[in-house]
Structure 1
Amino acid sequence: MTNQYKKLVRPLLQVAITVVFFACSKIDDYKGVVSNDTTKPDPVSNVQIKNGPGSAILTYALPKSDNILYVQATYLINDKVSRQTKSSFYSDTINVSGFAKSQDYKVLLYTVSRANVQSDPVEVTVHPDTPPYIQAFNTIKTKADFGGININVLNSFKGDLGIIAINNNPVTKQFEIVNQNYTNKDSINYSLRGYDTIPVKFGFYVTDPWGNISDTFFTTVKPIYELQQDKSKFSRYVLPTDAKTGFGWEIEYLWNGNTGSPGYHTEQPIQPLVWPAVITFDMGKAAKLSRYTIWDRGIDGSGNWLWQAGAPTSWTFWGRLSAPVDETMPTGANVPAVGQASPNGWINLGTFHLPAKPSGLPNPQYTNADLDFWNAGFSFNFNLDLPKVRYLRFQCLENASLTNNFFNITELTFWGDPR
């Protein structure tokens, strides 16, 4: 088991964590009608507090005046940083957020008139719950992975967080940032790779949009050996239930090193139609697989195929070590758990899904970022507990056009330990 420990240190490179990924909350200008009434407005009253994770919601009663423009809250979120939050006179609620800890904080509430005159302050005390960045930090788990380290973090409140990885630079002998993962997903799981199979010490800390920084979690792991599988050894292995090839796009194109067209294409439509459709091939050598990248048909002479047509949107990989035995692969409730075998001995290596288009634009529209995302291929990890396999079956469960009677792929690359 990986030895892990936590050390309460402030990372050396704090400047680097102020990243443009996090956009601070915009405060409206509240440019209302200019007033000549410079009378000091009355303050809010009957303030009620509802504490939340790293935040609090304050409700109040506004004074009876047509000259009020907004309510302003002023408060410290940590020992140094002061924030202001504003809420228009149309609302009786203001949200104060970004607090570094779960403790008492003073908040000053002012009403501000259209002549930009502040009322006397109303002081209240909030006690936010544990902020999301600290909650997430307390859930960090790591383990050795192929070529590096796997990181798992729970972000229960879906806060905007940065998971920052640091590593000891062998030249400078200083810890330096090696990866920054910004997300608001509730479950964070990713790997850092490219490391030799010798013990490596990593540190991880969590940041939020307000510049709060957690302690640092240190761990030492020994990366697992990983090698890209030798495509020169790959070959087709046709079984009776495999889909037939169409348009001259042969299965060998899946490992020719060309991520563009042509690739592999089934008949369109597959006849007689059997769906989900499968194809089978031999890697030529057994390996404990760690990950793979899949490339789909993109933009070629015949059109734009991004997130369209025969691109698989969900699929299952099946594998086995011994010579293949044909069968109609299980689907639905009959699918064995990952790592478990079908009736004829095909091991479920996992079901995977095509990532969504980053821009969210409807087809056939796309941005340059969408195109770059597509052309880079889509990478997925295999479960670390899977056994060695040599023969693979790709089972397409759904295609992008939802016709579910054909599919195509242009390239596959696998990594793992063949020893």
Structure 2
Amino acid sequence: MRNQYIYLLLAACMCLHLACSKVIDFNDPVSDDKSKPGQITDIKVANFNGGSYITYSLPKSGNILYVKADYIIDDNTGKKRQTKSSYYSDSITVEGFAETKEYEVKLTTVTRANVESDAVTVKVHPDTPVYRVVAKTIQMQSDFGGINVQTSNRNKKPIGAVLLYKAEGEDQYSIYEQEFSDFEHMSFSTRGFDTLPKQFAVYITDQWGNNSDTMFKTISPLFEEELDKSKFFNSALPSDTKVGFGWVVPRLWDNNKGSGWHTVQENMPLPITCTFGLGISAKLSRFVLVGRSGYEYAHGNPKVFAIWGSDKPAPADAVLPPFAEEGAVVGDWVNLGNYNWAPPPSGAPPTAPTATDRSVFNRGMEFNIPFTAPRTRFIRLAVTESWSGATFAHAMEITFFGNTN
């Protein structure tokens, strides 16, 4: 029995030695075969916006590790890219080209011993790059206190819209704001300007550093003011969620972050809704919503919600859906926008926000009303999801901005 233990111990030590040797040799060539591999054959090219798919047949060799492609994506700058494809695949993608024109791609097979084949040169002709396609759709228009920029990205590929601004007295434009998205439609507004004419410009960029031509435009921002809360009034409708704990709707505009609106903590249908009047017809630009302190990213604070509006003198009740597209109409009511309260900026989980996260939350969150939204006299705040997932909601203060002229 003692000898069996010794043999087992020796076997374990041998296994450990082999395992350690394998780790040590991990970066060494996995093959001693230094022979030159053959070239790929049967090459076919399929072009797309800004790139090409290349298919091929690998040489008959069990020692191939990958195929690499080397190519220049911008003849003006000489910028190069290299992409690789495993020997398990029969295709490789080359992309990031700056223009729609003919480019050369050098394809090389590489063995496990890091020996390369002679290169095969393939000509590709990518379709118009996405950033150039998007650049043709740029729209710049006046917005409340600034400018609104919109683009269309039917390919849904990552692009960036870079807004430039030339201040009065300056000789050059400088970057003022940047937005990145792979959504089909991008729309963002930059505010903080008076109504005098301003010089703006926009260009589109992509993840490979390609930039479109720049579009210039002089914009006169629209007048914006904070709506007078003294004109707001409660306008409860039958489908509104029952109020609880005496936290009535008018507390939403009493300029006191210590009091607010709160619904009953019962199993209520979604969305959790309240309705009130603005006392005037207004073209809204944005609003600031303040959540309940002490329950940051938790309890009944709104996480997913919508703002509905009506410009009717006395809009009729309507049961709102839990979700509707922006601009959807339900009876006398129009969906002015759908919103998500941003998670803790530190990246911490909502259940454990940092002190900074709590501070950001308690300042309130600003949300834009789409520029295409119609004028409105009445507002319905419709909460689809609270941070706790419960079927009740609360908020402390709401402030609207826009133009009442």
TM-score by length of 2: 0.79
The aligned counterpart of 2:189 is: 191
Aligned with residue 338 of structure 2, among 333, 344, 352: 352
Write the letter of the residue equivalent to 1:137: A
Question: For residues 316 and 112 of structure 1, what CA distance do their matches in structure 2 show?
Answer: 58
The aligned counterpart of 1:379 is: 367
Aligned with residue 202 of structure 2, among 181, 201, 204: 204
* RMSD of aligned Cα (Å): 3.4
- The aligned runs of 1:260-275 (5 Å cut-off) are 262-269=259-266
Question: For residues 358 and 218 of structure 2, what CA distance do their matches in structure 1 show?
Answer: 38
Q: Is the radius of gyration larger for structure 1 or structure 2?
A: 2
Per-residue deviation at 1:144? 1.5
The aligned counterpart of 1:40 is: 36
- The aligned runs of 1:252-401 (5 Å cut-off) are 252-257=250-255, 262-269=259-266, 278-297=273-292, 300=294, 303=295, 305-306=297-298, 309=300, 311=302, 313-320=304-311, 322=313, 324=314, 327-331=316-320, 338=327, 342=331, 346-348=332-334, 350-354=336-340, 357=343, 365=351, 376-384=364-372, 386-387=374-375, 389=377, 391-396=378-383
The aligned counterpart of 2:69 is: 73
The aligned counterpart of 2:147 is: 149
The aligned counterpart of 2:53 is: 57
Moved more, 138-147 or 394-403: 394-403
Question: For residues 377 and 349 of structure 1, what CA distance do their matches in structure 2 show?
Answer: 19
Aligned with residue 412 of structure 1, among 370, 373, 398: 398
Question: For residues 67 and 196 of structure 2, what CA distance do their matches in structure 1 show?
Answer: 58
Is the alpha carbon distance of 1:107 and 1:225 closer, same or farther for their aligned partners in structure 2, counting shifts above 3 Å?
Answer: same
Deviations for 1:208-239, whole angstroms, at most 9, x for unmatched residues? 11111100111222211111223344444456
* Bigger proportion of residues as helix: 2
Write the letter of the residue equivalent to 2:317: T
The aligned counterpart of 1:26 is: none
Per-residue deviation at 1:411? 2.1
Write the letter of the residue equivalent to 1:219: K
Deviations for 1:230-254, whole angstroms, at most 9, x for unmatched residues? 3344444456665443124333432
- The aligned runs of 1:41-190 (5 Å cut-off) are 41-79=37-75, 80-190=78-188
Per-residue deviation at 1:98? 0.5
Question: For residues 326 and 91 of structure 2, what CA distance do their matches in structure 1 show?
Answer: 49
Write the letter of the residue equivalent to 2:291: D
Is the alpha carbon distance of 1:402 and 1:135 closer, same or farther for their aligned partners in structure 2, counting shifts above 3 Å?
Answer: same
Q: Is the 8 A contact 2:297 2:387 kept in 1?
A: no
- Number of residues paired by the alignment? 374
Structure 1 runs of 4+ off > 6 angstroms? 369-373
Per-residue deviation at 1:414? 0.5
Is the alpha carbon distance of 1:289 and 1:111 closer, same or farther for their aligned partners in structure 2, counting shifts above 3 Å?
Answer: same
Question: For residues 85 and 383 of structure 1, what CA distance do their matches in structure 2 show?
Answer: 42
Is the alpha carbon distance of 1:355 and 1:131 closer, same or farther for their aligned partners in structure 2, counting shifts above 3 Å?
Answer: farther
Moved more, 44-53 or 234-243: 234-243
Q: Is the 8 A contact 1:314 1:352 kept in 2?
A: yes
Per-residue deviation at 1:355? 5.2
Per-residue deviation at 1:332? 5.3
Question: For residues 357 and 86 of structure 2, what CA distance do their matches in structure 1 show?
Answer: 38
Per-residue deviation at 1:263? 2.4
Per-residue deviation at 1:110? 0.7
Q: Is the 8 A contact 1:312 1:408 kept in 2?
A: no
Question: For residues 370 and 66 of structure 1, what CA distance do their matches in structure 2 show?
Answer: 55
Q: Is the 8 A contact 1:319 1:349 kept in 2?
A: no
Write the letter of the residue equivalent to 2:381: F
Per-residue deviation at 1:78? 0.6
Per-residue deviation at 1:166? 0.7
Question: For residues 335 and 65 of structure 2, what CA distance do their matches in structure 1 show?
Answer: 61
Write the letter of the residue equivalent to 2:262: H
Secondary structure (helix, strand or coil) at the match of 1:84 reads strand
Is the alpha carbon distance of 1:239 and 1:81 closer, same or farther for their aligned partners in structure 2, counting shifts above 3 Å?
Answer: closer
Per-residue deviation at 1:112? 1.5
Per-residue deviation at 1:53? 1.1
Write the letter of the residue equivalent to 2:109: T
Is the alpha carbon distance of 1:340 and 1:42 closer, same or farther for their aligned partners in structure 2, counting shifts above 3 Å?
Answer: closer
Q: Is the 8 A contact 1:286 1:321 kept in 2?
A: no
Write the letter of the residue equivalent to 1:392: I
The aligned counterpart of 1:215 is: 213
- Percent identity over the alignment is 36
Q: Structure 1: which 5+ runs fail to align? A: 1-29
Q: Structure 2: which 5+ runs fail to align? A: 1-25
Question: For residues 158 and 260 of structure 2, what CA distance do their matches in structure 1 show?
Answer: 39
Per-residue deviation at 1:341? 8.7
Is the alpha carbon distance of 1:385 and 1:186 closer, same or farther for their aligned partners in structure 2, counting shifts above 3 Å?
Answer: closer
Per-residue deviation at 1:367? 6.2
Per-residue deviation at 1:156? 1.5
Question: For residues 32 and 47 of structure 2, what CA distance do their matches in structure 1 show?
Answer: 38
Question: For residues 337 and 272 of structure 2, what CA distance do their matches in structure 1 show?
Answer: 14
Question: For residues 282 and 192 of structure 1, what CA distance do their matches in structure 2 show?
Answer: 28
Is the alpha carbon distance of 1:320 and 1:339 closer, same or farther for their aligned partners in structure 2, counting shifts above 3 Å?
Answer: farther
TM-score by length of 1: 0.77
Is the alpha carbon distance of 1:133 and 1:358 closer, same or farther for their aligned partners in structure 2, counting shifts above 3 Å?
Answer: farther
Q: Which has the higher contact order (CA 8 A, sep 6+)?
A: 1
Is the alpha carbon distance of 1:57 and 1:372 closer, same or farther for their aligned partners in structure 2, counting shifts above 3 Å?
Answer: farther
